[in-house]
Structure 1
Amino acid sequence: MIIPLSWLKDFISIDPTTDPEHISKTLTNIGLEVENVNHTSNALKNFLICRVLETYPHPNASKLHICTVDIGKQDPVQVICGAKNVKAGLKSIFAPIGTTIPASDIIISQASIRGISSYGMLCSASELKIETDTISNADTDNNSIVELTEQEEIGMALTDYHELDDTIFDVSVTVNRGDCLSMLGIARELSASGIGELKPVSFPSIDIRNTPVHSLDVQAPDKCQFFSIHYIQNIQKKTTPIYIRQRLSKIGVKRVNAAVDLVNYVVHAFGHPMHVYDADKIGKKLSVKTRAGKIDALDGMQYEVTSSDISVISDEQIISLAGIIGSEDSKVTENTTNIILESGIFDPIRVSQTGNRLNLHTEARHRFERQVDTEMPLKAASVVASQISLICEGEIHSQVQVSSNVEKNICISARSLSADIKKIANISIKDKEVNLILRSLGYHLTKTSNETLITAPSWRHDVLCDRDVIADVIRIKGLQHIPVLHIPQNNIQHDTSELSIKKFLTSLGYNETISWSFISKEEAFQFCSNEKELVQVENPISDNLSYMRQSIVQSLLKVVEKNLERDAEQVSLFEIAPIFPNLEEEVTVISLMKCGLLTDSNPHIPDKNVDFFDVKGDLEALLKTMNIDLDTITWCTKECPQFLHPNRSANIMADEVKIGHIGELHPFLTQNIKVRVISSEIAMQKINKITSSKKYFVPSNYQQTIRDLAFTTALNNNLGAIPKAIKNINPLLITDVKIFDIFSGPPLEEGKKSFAIRIYLLPQDKTLDEQLIATIMSNVIDTLKKKFSSHLRS
């Protein structure tokens, strides 16, 4: 919806000092999003009203004229002009030196044209990116220089002429707010928000005593709640007033003739679509009904009308698709002398269905399918009829109307809206203010002994219950009044449901499998050497399914083998299912298995096969999403499951409790597939018991400090617990610790290895000084020496 501020001010008194940006923000805050604000004066500043005093031919160019131009200053200026309509006494628009021409972005400068100096430019409407008929009644085209009337003051700024200094709001109106598809509707909303006072709107009363010459029959009352026609005769060929032409131009509506322009003007002013017919091109009997046929529409297209479409018919001819578009055969032209003005209310669903089927979008359809003010049809028609009578000197001869099943305003009862608003939005607001807001929006309030009866205005079809009324109060009061509730920062609960885990693993490239919990005896003994721990099925469905599995690894390995047999280059699988460690226990685990290429083959990087650390990284990422602090996780290489590689596997420990394992499968299991297979398994029940006190990340305004240290230690020394031990030295300052290098061999002593750590320090309240950093590094060195028998390398 395009809203010119100058037009809006016809309906609301706005303080001249009010910033248009404030109006824009207010509209957006109350649910009418402003997508763009255009200040027309920006493009037209510096242009002046001028008069050509005299003109004579250019001595060196037959098509040019030398003009002496009065621009309201002491001395006139000389301008070279090539327009055919330039003449002495002509009032036009002058662009001084330094002015930018909107259509071409050319900056006017002093120029010598065929040896004669020119000190400005006389402008055409096309050069100003406006249309001639919006600023002048002269019969000239857009490429001739503008011819103004005698009323304008010489030297006056162009932006002070006929509302050219304007602000245009492009408002996005949601489908439930058809009442805001008009200047009146927007003005009503702004007034309720405190931007000015709504001006009283008076509609003309038309005294018609003539006997109607037309009959009207509404045969589809369920699809047409109201229909009226005004017969206006003997209209004269007149020009639409400049201010109406200019306002229609601003909102992008094409000007046709005075009668049609006045209808379009009132439609956008009050929001109710209407249509005019040439009365001499149609019959005396009009009917509104559903009937199949064809219509040659005003847009030059022929449409197939079905028996479900609402039509206006005269002499068995379809003269309009009701609420959408009229016919070419009945259109009003410059030569029309008698017209019929139609105003009605049509079923929004049927209008929308017809428009969608025909892919036909019009201003009328846009409003009717969003529902119109049920009290506006006659009011809007009276404005159009009186204006046509005034401007075109026509006689309003007669009126006919039919009304049935007009929707009544909905009435809602409420005990205490202020209490409900407090409960829903936590906004404290007094009943007096609630009533003031509702009345400003057009609601009618009736107080009874124990409740308030709230009647919605006739233009608000989206108000169906008390919650809609409350929403109106809240948006006008302002969403900024809803208190901010801070989320507790400690003990953030992450979703650890199976579904969220499956979604995350899928995002990492894993594919889910679903397999039997039963395995063969041979497979069972491959994974457990103690027969007493195995769970045997008493009545198996097959000899190959006679034991309960103790690990999902057995099932996943079969899937891996089948994929590799089909030349799969990479396999990534997961399954969440129960395992049976013994006869008394059933444990749900998350099992991962990965092998083959880490990524697809790429000519820019060498191929890399999946290794232990790739799966470890995936597992750590999963644990993070489950809100498990990785500092509580350690990796122990002792007493790993027998089906894992003895030197490439680890148990996963959380606070010294085993929650799972990870590692490369034992070569005995993968000898037939000749590829390294990495597997991991963690118990869900044990994960859910791990508590975490992770907090929101708090950004610091101070510089981070990074320090690297290198140590030597025994070759068999486990380094997994070192990062956590260093963080515990000063948890507030040490934000992260990473082991980024491990080395063994010469020149180190035999049985020794070297490792390097990177320590990240981030202060929250002050910049770190060297003395504090040195103290922390000293504590790190002492800690590693005492707890891990690690010594700083020289």
Structure 2
Amino acid sequence: MRVSLQWLQELVPCPWPVALLAERLSIAGLEVEDVLELGKPLAGVVVGKVLDCVPHPNANKLSLCRVDVGGPQPLQIVCGASNVRAHVHVPVAPVGCRLPAVDLTIRRTRLRGVDSEGMICSLSELGQEDNGAGICVLEDQTPTDGLTPGAAVAPLLGLDDVVLDVAVTANRPDGLSMLGIAREVAALCGEAVSPPTAPPQTASAMDLNRFARGCRLFSLSIVENVTVGPSPLWLRRRLERAGLRSIDAAVDITNLVMLETGQPMHAFDGERVTGGAAALHVRFARSGEGLHTLDGQQRSLATGHLVVADAAGPVALAGVMGGAPTRITSRTRQVLLEAAVFDPTAVRRSARLAGLRSESSSRFERGVAPQATLAAADRAVALLEQICGGRCVERQVACHPGVLEERQVPLRRQAIHRLLGVMADGTPVQDATVEECLRALGCGLATTDEGWSVTVPHSRCQDLCREVDLVEEVARLVGYDRFSAVLPTALVPGGRNRQQSLLHQLRQRLIATGLQELCHMSLDQGSATAMALANPLVSDHSCLRTVLYTGLLRAAQRNAQQGNGGLWGFEVGKVFSTVGPQREQQRLGAVLCGQQQHSLWRDGGKAVPLDFHQALGVMERVLVSLGIQLQRQPMAATEGVEPLLHPGRSVGLTLQGGAFAGWFGQVHPRVTRAWDLPEDVFLLEAELMPLLVAAEQQHGPVIRFQPFSLMPAAERDLAVVVNQAIGSGALMATIRTAGQPLLEAVHYLSRFDGGDLAPGACSHAFRLVFRGDQTLTDAQVEAALTTVMSALEERFKAQRRA
């Protein structure tokens, strides 16, 4: 938005210099990107009076002029313009003056044997639009009473102004109007806005059925007996400073009011509208329709285009651009002045489909204030009557219910203090300051118990919608630099808690063992107990998964199909179920399928099937390294995995307290054949949280260093005969408990059955390591060994084998 400072001063008196005004506007949110001094390129160009003009003695097309520029002596200037003559005032660039428009610095020169001491300039040489030929005659551009030789030319051409180039964000549509900028300046400097006034016109109601849902309000003013000609100089200059070109008086008035109020409007030639004012309506375009727009393009309309139409078809692309057949011309005698409020979404869609943006569409896309539409139409009608000599004979208005209602927004003191904090002096924002800021914006205030009920002014109805918006306005007008800058309370450095650290260690140790971490979607086909999704994308992923091993087997299958050999992988993920109190659990799953490629060197390049005990040992080593002691139980202790696992090569895993943790086993040959996998596939699935809790109990809240013992160890081998149904894990757990406090470690050596052993019995051999604070004697070791043997006899009826 280009803001003329002279125009702005007419709307609000601003006591600040230009630099300070630009700074305050930028701080308040309307960033001033550039400050353009219009007269700066004409610095040094002065008014000159041609005293006499005679033909050049040595050239037919040149004239020799004596020009008074206010100095002690007239200047002798050679001029080639055909319209130069005596007793006229002209712009003169004396020696040393620079003209940026033509990139020329004036120097004393000699033309055809005659000295020339300057240059008489044309409008184009001054950087202005030039519709004539020859030099600029100032009597044609400005009143003659201000023509004094030696005076600066810039003010006489209307270039004694400063233009602020303001960047307007999408949330501030009021910034696209001079009145909106004036209200902002008034709120910042404490002055009052003096908007131009116009007598209101009497309006009659129109049929709402003539207007589509994309039109919220439609006003049509009929102005008769207009005379359309060029615009007056002041109007042309205001448009030029805003970056618009002058068309004719009627069109320029609509553009001027748009710049002034932010309300776009369009003028139709009433005699060229089929069916007249009564036929104009707003609808969406029909397939196959077209429109010849004012930019000279013939456009094909789509069904998404919002159009203003008459009895014959579309006459304007609503909110974007008018049509050429109904444009204003010098023969226009009746003007139909449209001022409407179109839906921002509909205008944005029309502009995008047409590939066309205009000053009008940029304002409608941000939203215009419906409450100001009729006042803007009154202003345009008054200017048409003043400049074009017309007379408004009728106004018709159609408005949907609720469009003109004022918005009420509650504002609490607590919200202001919570969001803004305190001022630099340590005091909170006072109520008087809040009320002063909001009233400066034009808000109406009513006091409540918690704060205020704020009536939002129509000029800000697009962006002041919530309580936080009002708080932001208070902060802007008070000044963000006036609030204290308080650092937030010091935060405790982040990091992993104990369980997170243990989970990280578990991942790292599994990776170090040779397993790759896998990650699968938590969706699958599900089962009878699965939690089904209400809106699945595909049938294969219609439920939340209840187990991890399905994804692990699928990964092993794809790995084998690609010829990549065995897959050792693990996954930590969540499973879901509608059965039981815990509908969501985090589990650890692992798959060991075949031999890893990098281990073939140990077997001469030949794949060796993985053994059940080897596979189980891989997983147990990782868990034991974290202090997780597991006991093996028959598969009867598990549920729902019997068809999946081999009955003789699977175990349930329980913690030392007897709590079920999970299961491990070899996949049943029937399952491996169905999945097209090798036979040596082993699966682990365990609940993660019990494992981490057991590891945390073993290690405590923090890791403690345990010094190495300096005392020698005493080793004893122990072989016991028990029933074949008793597993080695249960025996080792009993040995560890009974051997305390001297027993340091127990190692499993061998299992033997047959021979001289009774049928149904087997022998387990262990190596026990004892160590104490002092060197142990044989008696102490034998006593501990006797205690261990007594516990085995009591619990398992074990007999010591010689």
Distance 1:543 1:437, change over 3 A: same
Helix, strand or coil at the partner of 2:405: coil
Q: 1:192 aligns with which of 182, 187, 190?
A: 187
Partner of 2:467: 466
Partner of 1:752: none
Partner of 1:348: 344
Partner of 1:516: 569
Q: 1:258 aligns with which of 246, 249, 256?
A: 249
AA aligned opposite 2:628: E
Distance 1:236 1:73, change over 3 A: farther
Partner of 1:742: none
> Is 1:203 matched up with 2:200?
no
Q: 1:177 aligns with which of 143, 160, 172?
A: 172
8 Å contact 1:274–1:344 — kept in the other structure? yes
Q: Matches of residues 421-500 of structure 1 in structure 2 within 5 Å?
A: 421-427=416-422, 428-448=428-448, 451-460=451-460, 461-486=462-487
In 1: Cα distance, 2:491 partner to 2:353 partner: 56
In 1: Cα distance, 2:4 partner to 2:484 partner: 35
Distance 1:524 1:265, change over 3 A: closer
Q: Which runs of 5+ in 2 are unaligned?
A: 423-427, 505-515, 519-567, 571-589, 600-609, 631-695, 704-802
Partner of 1:84: 82
Partner of 2:407: 410
In 2: Cα distance, 1:580 partner to 1:229 partner: 87
In 2: Cα distance, 1:185 partner to 1:375 partner: 14
8 Å contact 1:218–1:289 — kept in the other structure? no
In 2: Cα distance, 1:76 partner to 1:216 partner: 72
Post-superposition shift, 1:280? 1.4
- Larger mean CA deviation between 288-297 and 481-490 belongs to 481-490
In 2: Cα distance, 1:205 partner to 1:287 partner: 26
AA aligned opposite 2:186: S
Partner of 1:663: none
In 2: Cα distance, 1:347 partner to 1:298 partner: 22
Partner of 2:105: 107
Normalised by the length of structure 1, the TM-score is 0.61
Partner of 1:116: 114
Post-superposition shift, 1:339? 1.3
8 Å contact 1:208–1:397 — kept in the other structure? no
Q: Matches of residues 541-552 of structure 1 in structure 2 within 5 Å?
A: 545-548=615-618
Partner of 1:274: 265
Partner of 1:13: 13
AA aligned opposite 1:105: D
AA aligned opposite 2:307: S
Partner of 1:671: none
1:537-581 CA-partner distances (Å, limit 9, x unpaired):
xxx996774443699xxxxxxxxxxxxxxxxxxxxxxxxxx8763
In 2: Cα distance, 1:119 partner to 1:579 partner: 100
AA aligned opposite 2:167: S
AA aligned opposite 1:230: S
1:492-547 CA-partner distances (Å, limit 9, x unpaired):
6589999xx9xxxxxxxxxx965625779999999xxxxxxxxxxxxx99677444
In 2: Cα distance, 1:387 partner to 1:307 partner: 36
Helix, strand or coil at the partner of 1:161: helix
In 2: Cα distance, 1:375 partner to 1:429 partner: 32
Q: Matches of residues 721-760 of structure 1 in structure 2 within 5 Å?
A: none
Q: 1:140 aligns with which of 113, 122, 132?
A: 132
In 2: Cα distance, 1:524 partner to 1:236 partner: 94
AA aligned opposite 1:72: G
Helix, strand or coil at the partner of 2:124: coil
Post-superposition shift, 1:50? 2.1
Distance 1:521 1:362, change over 3 A: closer
1:598-649 CA-partner distances (Å, limit 9, x unpaired):
xxxxxxxxxxxxxxxxxxxxxxxxxxxxxxxxxxxxxxxxxxxxxxxxxxxx
Post-superposition shift, 1:259? 0.8
8 Å contact 1:30–1:476 — kept in the other structure? yes
In 1: Cα distance, 2:98 partner to 2:126 partner: 10
> Is 1:167 matched up with 2:162?
yes
8 Å contact 1:38–1:169 — kept in the other structure? yes
> Is 1:581 matched up with 2:582?
no
Count of residues in Structure 1 that have an aligned counterpart in Structure 2: 528
Distance 1:106 1:303, change over 3 A: same
Helix, strand or coil at the partner of 1:383: helix
Q: Matches of residues 20-39 of structure 1 in structure 2 within 5 Å?
A: 20-39=18-37
In 2: Cα distance, 1:542 partner to 1:44 partner: 96
Aligned residues: CA RMSD: 3.5
1:182-203 CA-partner distances (Å, limit 9, x unpaired):
0110111111112x62332242
AA aligned opposite 1:200: S
In 1: Cα distance, 2:215 partner to 2:351 partner: 16
Partner of 1:336: 332
1:403-425 CA-partner distances (Å, limit 9, x unpaired):
22224221022342xx4222112
Write 1 or 2 for the structure with the bigger share of helix.
2
AA aligned opposite 1:279: G
In 2: Cα distance, 1:579 partner to 1:362 partner: 70
Partner of 1:287: 281
In 1: Cα distance, 2:81 partner to 2:37 partner: 29
> Is 1:153 matched up with 2:151?
no
Post-superposition shift, 1:77? 1.3
Partner of 1:125: 123
Normalised by the length of structure 2, the TM-score is 0.60
Helix, strand or coil at the partner of 2:125: coil
8 Å contact 1:236–1:337 — kept in the other structure? yes
8 Å contact 2:83–2:135 — kept in the other structure? no
Distance 1:52 1:464, change over 3 A: same
